[in-house]
Amino acid sequence: MKIMVAIKRVVDYAVKIRIKSDKTGVETTNVKMSMNPFCEIALEEALRMKESGVASEVIAVSMGPTQCVDTLRTGLAMGADRAIHVDAPSTLYPLTVAKLLKALVQVEKPGLLILGKQAIDDDCNQTGQMVAGLLNWPQGTFASKVVVDKEKKAATVDREVDGGLETLCLDLPAVITTDLRLNQPRYATLPNIMKAKSKPIKKMSLAELNVDLRSDLEVVQVTAPPVRKAGVILSSVDELVDKLKNEAHVI
C-alpha cells in the first residue's frame, strides 16, 4: 500500500509573525520557513507505518512556489521515498489544495492520504475534510492514534474530542488528519540527508492535473491584533475600587 502525505511550507513556528505594511498578508521575505509541524507529524506516522510493514511506499507532496522543494527535501531526509511538487503560486486556498490532492490521488492511487489537521499559518483546518469529500473517502480527523489492519483493509483512528476519545474504524482508502499528540517526529539525520539527495522529486503543473486556480475567496485585509495595553500596579484597594468605578466603569 502506498501512503501519500501532504506537506505545507509555512513560516517557522518560532518566528514572530509580522504583517506586510500594505496589509495584504504576512511578511515572508527573509523569514525562516519550515515544514508545518502537523505535516511533520503526518509524515512521521506514514514513515512508522512503512517501518512496521503496513505500507510499501511513502510519497510526500507539496504545492506552491519553487522553495517548496526545500521542504520536500526535508521530508525525503526524514524518510519519504519520493516527492511530488506541484508548481503553483504561493497563496492557495483549501479548496484548491483539496482539488489538487484529489488529482494527485487519482494519479498515484494511494491507500491512505495523511495530512496535518491544519497549517499553522492560516489555521484553516479544512483541506483534509474537503479532499475526503471530493474523493468520497471516509475521514478520521484529529487523529491521536492510528492502527492500520492490512488484512481487513481498515484503519482504527482515535480522535480527541471534547470530554474524551472517539474511536472510528475506517475502510481504506481513507483520509486521516493528524493531531499534536499522535507522535513525535524524528530528526533528519546526516545519512538520511545524504540519501535524500538522490531521491526523485517530480514536478507537476496545474495544467497537468487539470485544476484551475479560480477562488471564491478574496482577502480584503490582514491586520495584527491590537496591542495589549500595559497594566498598572496600584498601591491600595481604594485606588483599585476608584479605578474600577471611574475608569473601567464596571462597578
Partner 1 sequence: MENHKAAAAAVAYRLLNQTKHKSNKILHQRRLIPNSTQLNPSSSTSGFTQASVPLNQFVASYRWDLRKSSLIHTHHRKFGSVASTIVERNPNFSTINHDDLIYFDKILGAKKVIQDPEELQTANTDWMHKYKGSSKLMLQPENTTELSQILDYCNSRRLAVVPQGGNTGLVGGSVPVFDEIIINTRRMNSVISFDQVSGVLVCEAGCILENLISFLDKKGFIMPLDLGAKGSCQIGGNISTNAGGLRLVRYGSLHGTVLGLEVVLANGSVIDMLGTLRKDNTGYDLKHLFIGSEGSLGIITKVSILTPPKLSSVNIAFLACEDYISCQKLLFQAKRRLGEILSAFEFLDSQAMNLVLHHLDGVRNPLPSSIYNFYVLIETTGSNESNDKATLEAFLLHAMENGLVSDGALAQDFSQASSFWHIREGIPEALQKAGAVYKYDLSLPVEKMYDLVEEMRTRLGAAANVVGYGHLGDGNLHLNVSARQYDDAILAQIEPFVYEWTSQHRGSISAEHGLGLMKAEKIYYSKSSETVQLMASVKKLLDPNGILNPYKVIPSSLVS
To the nearest whole angstrom, how small is the minimum distance from the Cβ of residue 152 to partner 1?
A: 32
Site map 69..88 versus partner 1, x via CB under 8 A:
-x---x--x-----------
Question: Is residue 194 within the footprint of partner 1 (CB under 8 A)?
Answer: yes
Q: Is 112 in the site for partner 1 (CB under 8 A)?
A: no
- Give the list of residues 6+ apart from residue 203 with CB closer than 8 angstroms, or none: 84, 85, 86, 87
Residue 198 touches partner 1, criterion: CB under 8 A: no
Q: Pick the closer one to partner 1 by CB: 164 or 191.
A: 191
What is the rounded CA–CA span in Å between residue 4 and residue 111? 8
CA-nearest of 183, 112, 172 to 145 is 183
Beta-carbon count within 10 A of 157 CB: 25
**Residue keyed to cell 514536478:** 203
Indicate the residue among 32 and 203 with the shorter CB distance to partner 1: 32
Distance from C-alpha of 161 to C-alpha of 125, rounded to nearest angstrom: 15
Q: Binder to partner 1 among 121, 188, 201, 243 (CB under 8 A)?
A: 188
Residues 3-62 interacting with partner 1 (rule: CB under 8 A): 12-15, 30-32, 34-35, 37
How many Å apart are CA 177 and CA 15, to the nearest integer?
Answer: 24
Q: Note the residues at the interface with partner 1 (CB under 8 A).
A: 12-15, 30-32, 34-35, 37, 70, 74, 77, 184, 187-191, 193-194
